[in-house]
Copies of this chain bind each other. A is one copy, B any other.
Amino acid sequence: MSKFVTIAVDAMGGDLGSAAAVRASLEMLRSRDELRLILVGDADTVRANFGRLGKESARVEIHHADQIVSMEDTPSEALRHKKRSSMRLAVELVRSGEAQACVSAGNTGALMATGRLVLRMLAGIDRPAILVALPTMQGACYMLDLGANSVCTPTHLLQFAVMGSVIAAINGVENPAIRLLNNGEEEIKGIETVQAANVLLSESHLNYHGFVEPNDVFKHRADVVVCDGFTGNIALKTMEGSAEFVYRQMRSYFQTGWFTRAYGLACWPFLYAIKKRLDPNRHNGATLVGLNGIVIKSHGSSNEIGWQQAIHLAMREVEKGLNERIQGLWSNMAA
């Protein structure tokens, strides 16, 4: 295996167009000598966003794609009619082995469907999941599934626990503590699937600690939090909405009169620091885990910092052998 890590970047997805993706890619090439990038997208557009390229030019290539998956395309439309899209070609570069991972800020549903069709699943894993590292009061919490599967069986949740615990481990968490998201910690709480998954996980050899309530996720009661994709997506979008709501309440305070307006100037550095701390771009990058290939979803609104985070994440998962480790842990459990 070469010392290089090659990442395919879908340079056309995301709300900010290809500029953020391309500029972040070039910045990453400058800071990481072992990185090679294949930028997939309309060749002219991608080239137009290139700045001056130094010696890094040897480690980047453009792979032309004449279609774009839009945010409005349904997964099945993307599969059927966008076979020459930047998203599809980026995923195909992973299947062919030309890239070891791909990153896209496009339509999540289409990316997941494309990943499943092109890469297929890891042996023994039934469903892919969306995993994100959430900030807590004490490091990150790895939470999945955040929206790939609205309905899950207890076995799916067990598989998510395995995958989440491997991702926590490759991010430096020793013997990660796993919990199931629930509306209470007591054994009798929750819906049927969560109850059954609790039994499965308790009987497994995983480092499982029972249920966790959403408010306690932020207190870092667990390193890995497992849930079905419907519940996880509701929780994720509630977090986004709550944080934005609090921030807007803060801003609107300064609009209550001339005194608070003036006072706002004094507090501005603080507000700016908090906004930066909570900036989702600094925690950007969801892993579509369970696929037979590494696929990272960058947030639709990713800026340059967000894109860099996502590419970093893809590199780490390649370097640490994410999928080999998942297969290892899962076959040990099945044995």
B-contact 0/1 string along A220-234, CB 8 Å cutoff: 000000000111011
Contact partner of A191 (CB less than 8 A), chosen from B147, B230, B243, B273, is: B230
> A219 to chain B: which residues have CB within 8 Å?
241
Cβ-based interface call for A328 (8 A): no
Contact B147 A183 (CB under 8 A): yes
Least CB distance from A130 to B in Å reads: 11
Of A181, A238, A274, the most chain B CB neighbours within 10 A belong to: A238
Report the separation of the CA atoms of residues A250 and B247 in the bound assembly, to the nearest whole angstrom.
11
Cβ-based interface call for A62 (8 A): no
Knowing A233-B183, A266-B266, say if A238 contacts B245 (CB, 8 Å).
Answer: no
- A277's nearest neighbour on chain B, judged by CB, is B249
Contact B240 A137 (CB under 8 A): no
Task: Identify the stretch in A7-15, A41-49, A210-218, A313-321 within 8 Å (CB) of chain B at 4 or more residues.
Answer: A210-218
> A189 to chain B: which residues have CB within 8 Å?
150
Contact partner of A270 (CB less than 8 A), chosen from B234, B248, B263, is: B263
Report the separation of the CA atoms of residues A253 and B267 in the bound assembly, to the nearest whole angstrom.
13
Contact A246 B248 (CB under 8 A): no
Knowing A241-B216, A242-B218, A278-B246, say if A230 contacts B263 (CB, 8 Å).
Answer: no
Interface residues on A, range: 35 or more
Cβ-based interface call for A51 (8 A): no
Taken together, the copies of this chain in the complex come to: 2
Report the separation of the CA atoms of residues A239 and B250 in the bound assembly, to the nearest whole angstrom.
16
Cβ-based interface call for A98 (8 A): no
Report the separation of the CA atoms of residues A229 and B240 in the bound assembly, to the nearest whole angstrom.
21
Contact B249 A274 (CB under 8 A): yes
Contact A239 B237 (CB under 8 A): no
Contact B266 A250 (CB under 8 A): no
> A213 to chain B: which residues have CB within 8 Å?
237
Report the separation of the CA atoms of residues A213 and B147 in the bound assembly, to the nearest whole angstrom.
13
> A247 to chain B: which residues have CB within 8 Å?
246
Contact A274 B253 (CB under 8 A): yes
> A216 to chain B: which residues have CB within 8 Å?
241
Contact B249 A278 (CB under 8 A): yes
- A194's nearest neighbour on chain B, judged by CB, is B230
Contact partner of A267 (CB less than 8 A), chosen from B229, B235, B270, is: B270
Report the separation of the CA atoms of residues A273 and B253 in the bound assembly, to the nearest whole angstrom.
8
Contact A230 B269 (CB under 8 A): no
> A183 to chain B: which residues have CB within 8 Å?
147, 150, 229-230, 233-234, 237
> A249 to chain B: which residues have CB within 8 Å?
274, 277-278
A-B pairs, 9 with minimum CB distance: A215-B241, A242-B242, A183-B233, A238-B238, A214-B238, A214-B237, A218-B245, A218-B241, A215-B237
Q: List 21 A-B contacts (CB under 8 A).
A: A74-B188, A183-B234, A191-B230, A213-B237, A215-B244, A216-B241, A218-B241, A218-B244, A231-B231, A231-B234, A235-B235, A242-B242, A242-B243, A249-B278, A253-B270, A253-B274, A253-B277, A266-B266, A266-B267, A267-B270, A270-B270
Residues of A that sit less than 8 Å from B by CB: 74, 135-137, 147, 150-151, 181, 183, 188-192, 213-219, 229-231, 233-235, 237-250, 253, 263, 266-267, 269-270, 273-274, 277-278
